[in-house]
Amino acid sequence: MVTTVKDVKTGAEALTTDKELTAPAVKPVTLPSENPVVYPLTLPEPAARTQTPAVGQRASRPDGRLHGLGQTKYIDDLTFPHMIHAKILRSAHPHARIISVDTSEAEAMPGVFATLTGKEIPVNSFGPTLQDQPVLAGDIVRHRGDGVAAVAAVTEQIAADALEKIKVEYEPLPAVFDPVEALKDEIKVHAPNSNIYASKVIRKGDVDKALAESDHVFHREFRTQFVEHVPLEPHSSVAMWDGNGRVTIYSSLGRITLGREDLSRTLRIPQNRVRLIGTIVGGNFGGKNEITNEPILALLSKKTGRPVKCTYTRGDEFVSSTIRHPFIMDYTTGVNNEGKILARKIRLVLDGGAYCSWTGTTIGKGSILAPGPYNIDNLLVEAYAVYTNKTTTGAMRGFGAPQVCFAYESQMDDIAVALGIDPLEIRLRNAFSENSFSPTSQVLQSVAIKESLLQASDRFGWKE
């Protein structure tokens, strides 16, 4: 698969996968001269672990009792005097320009207290890596899960009915769904910017030379799919804007300090005026690591002077909360006759969906872990994250690690089968050991992968 891509930094140079990328220049680390660090480090025995009395003892969760009694209060279990309910209208198109949003008919409905559109958000952008995501869409909707307008009403049902009365005029734009297509930048999700919004290159040794010298070269493309976290507790928040200009928000958010920064930014008020309270989270798995509807509820509360709650439906959860990045993984691996990996060349394309979210972390971890836990002297990993007009992908357990694990372990099996080597044996021949270097040349300590493999294979009777 040869695809034309552009350098994110310069935005100009056309590159192809078979053309080599220049790795970022490595700055030599300057060490304090009087106290030079010698690699590999000799570290003290981790005595603390063996001495801790807690090890080996059964620990029970401090909140287990209330969970079992049904007394734990999750956000949706909270209610406040005069509380009203909000619902969010989702985009009718995967990619469109919003010509107009008319909420007047909805606002006139009995039981409706207020409506909100993207234009009313003080600073309409947020995100943990890039601030590229609007709280409610401004001029452009970039996927079907984008909020276009919100309604606060006396009941959830009235709010839902009011959504149907909101008239949105769209000018549909061509949309791009395939990340490989998106690499071409023919349809831009965030025009005029390139769709490639994050990239990473890891280089070690001379991969082409080593591939040419390998006895066998294996190539395969692996793909993984979208995965929604499906926390059993849907996202839920309640916001209360008080007369002193302070906002109190109860939220199912897992990262409240980060959330407070985003709230302060989007609402354009100092952080000390934002009181964000996280209680028990009913399942996060990475899907509740950033704000979703909190600024909307805060502003609706400001407009109405009432506590405003919004609990996502399962549908909202699937279309508008973040999900796991699908990866397209191109693996070329050179081995010698004994199955020792000599070189590995990897290209990762991450389907980023409409907004960046936690892609920065995902592309980082994904790239570093892509070669696998194996000693490989010659490496090239190139990773690109691209925008598409689909549900935003973000953090989910492992930040990219499970996707690349699927690829490198599948390829290890391919190689083992082709060379007639036992799949366990080929891993033992290549696996990291104490003081191995990671793909980014960190020295690895407490490495027990071979012992773990041997012990596990003993226990499930691999040899039999």
Partner 1 sequence: MLVKLKVNGELRQADVPPETTLLKMLREDLGLTGAKLGCDVGDCGTCTVIVDGDSLNSCLMLAAKANGREITTIEGLATSADLHPLQKSFEELGALQCGFCGPGMLMSAKNLLDKNPEPSVHEIKDALSGNLCRCTGYTKIIEAIQDAGRELSGAAAGN
Q: Which residues contribute to the site for partner 1 (CB under 8 A)?
A: 58, 60-61, 63-74, 76-77, 79, 157, 229-234, 280-285, 311, 313-314
In terms of CB distance, is 110 or 243 closer to partner 1?
Answer: 110
Q: Which residues contact 212 (CB under 8 A, 6 or more apart)?
A: none
In terms of CB distance, is 305 or 315 closer to partner 1?
Answer: 315
Task: Please give the structure tokens belonging to residue 326.
Answer: 């699908």
Task: Please give the structure tokens belonging to residue 271.
Answer: 């952080």
Residue 229 C-beta: closest distance to partner 1, Å: 7
Closest of 224, 175, 250 to residue 396, by C-alpha: 224
Would you tell me how many other CB atoms lie within 10 Å of the CB of residue 259?
Answer: 26
In terms of CB distance, is 63 or 434 closer to partner 1?
Answer: 63
In terms of CB distance, is 38 or 59 closer to partner 1?
Answer: 59
Residue 311 C-beta: closest distance to partner 1, Å: 7
Residue 70 C-beta: closest distance to partner 1, Å: 3
In terms of CB distance, is 194 or 252 closer to partner 1?
Answer: 252
Contact 404, 348 (CB under 8 A): yes
- Long-range contact set of residues 23-31: C-beta below 8 Å, sequence gap at least 24: 23/201, 23/202, 23/203, 24/201
Q: What distance in Å separates the CA atoms of residue 446 and residue 298, rounded to the nearest whole number? A: 48
In terms of CB distance, is 311 or 389 closer to partner 1?
Answer: 311
- With H, G, I as helix, E, B as strand and everything else as coil, classify residue 171: strand
In terms of CB distance, is 248 or 284 closer to partner 1?
Answer: 284
Residue 54 C-beta: closest distance to partner 1, Å: 15
Contact 377, 205 (CB under 8 A): yes
Residue 147 C-beta: closest distance to partner 1, Å: 20
Task: Please give the structure tokens belonging to residue 161.
Answer: 């009915």
- Long-range contact set of residues 402-405: C-beta below 8 Å, sequence gap at least 24: 402/224, 403/224, 403/324, 403/325, 403/326, 403/327, 403/329, 403/366, 404/327, 404/329, 404/348, 404/366, 404/369, 404/370, 404/372, 405/369, 405/372
Residue 323 C-beta: closest distance to partner 1, Å: 14
